[in-house]
Amino acid sequence: MADNDQVKPLAAAHHLRSDYEDHEAMSAQSDLRRKKLYIQCCGCLTVLLLIPVVVFIVLFTTVCHVKNPGMRMNSVSIQRQLEVVDGDQNITLLVDVQMKNPNYASFKFINATSVVYYDGVAVGEGRIPAGMAKARRTLRMNVTVDIVPAKVLMVQKLRSDNMNSETWSLSSYTRIIGKVKMLKIIKKNVVVVLNCSFTYNVSSQAIQDSCTQRVKL
C-alpha cells in the first residue's frame, strides 16, 4: 500500500512534469509558429504597402512623364487664286496642321500667329486659334494664311536682282505656347516651334513645302 502510495504521487509528479515539459515544448513550438506567422505577416504587410508605392512610382514615371507634343504640317493648298499678282488681293493658303499629343493629359495652347517671311521681311500671317489636344490624341486644324503679294513685290523691287522671279522662296515661323496639365499637380509649359519653307511658283500658282520642328519643355 505504502509503496503504491509512494509510487502514485511520483508517477503523478512524473506525469505532471512530462505534461509540463510537453506543454513547454508545445508552447515553444507555437511560439516558433507565431514568430513565423509574424514574419510572414510582416512580409505580407510590407509587400501590400509596397505595391501602391511601386504603382505610384511606375505611374509617376510613365503616365506623368511629360512628352513632347508634335506639330506637323500635313498639306498646304491655295484657297484663293489670283488673277494678277500685283493687285490688292492676298494669296490665301489653307494649311492643314496637326498637333499630336502623346501625353496622358491634355495639351492646351493659347492663340498664336504664323508669320510668313520673304527674304527676311514679313509678308503675311496666319492666325491659329487657342485650342486643346486631348490626351493621347491628335488635333487637326485648318489654318488660313494670308500672303500679301504687294509686300513681296516691294521686297523684290528693293533687291532688284531677283525681280520677276518665277518662284518665291517663303518661310514661316510658328510658335505655339501651351501647357500640359496633369491631376492639377503637374503643370508643364511647352513651346513648340515649327519652321517651314515654301516655294511658290508664280505662273502655276502651286506651292511646295517642307518643315522643321523644335519643342522646348
Ligand X SMILES: *[C@@H]1O[C@H](CO)[C@@H](O)[C@H](O)[C@H]1NC(C)=O
Binding residues vs ligand X (CB under 6 A) = 88, 90, 96, 111-113, 124-125, 127, 140-142, 146, 148, 166-167, 173, 193, 195, 201, 203-204, 212, 214
Instruction: Count Cα neighbours of 105 within 13 Å in the Cβ-side half-sphere.
Output: 24
Is the distance from CB of 123 to CB of 117 less than 8 angstroms? yes
- Least separation in angstroms between residue 129's CB and ligand X is 8
Specify the residue, 66 or 196, whose C-beta has the smaller distance to ligand X. 196
Pairing verdict, β 91-100 and 138-147: antiparallel
- Least separation in angstroms between residue 188's CB and ligand X is 20
Specify the residue, 155 or 182, whose C-beta has the smaller distance to ligand X. 155
Specify the residue, 21 or 166, whose C-beta has the smaller distance to ligand X. 166
- Least separation in angstroms between residue 59's CB and ligand X is 32
Specify the residue, 105 or 149, whose C-beta has the smaller distance to ligand X. 149
Q: How far is CA 19 from the centre of its chain?
A: 72
- Least separation in angstroms between residue 215's CB and ligand X is 9
Specify the residue, 42 or 110, whose C-beta has the smaller distance to ligand X. 110
- DSSP for 11-65, please give it: HHHHHHHHHHHHHHHHHHHHHHHHHHHHHHHHHHHHHHHHHHHHHHHHHHHHTSS
Residue carrying the nine cell digits 502655276: 204
- Least separation in angstroms between residue 105's CB and ligand X is 22
Phi/psi at 28 (nearest 5 deg)?
-65, -40
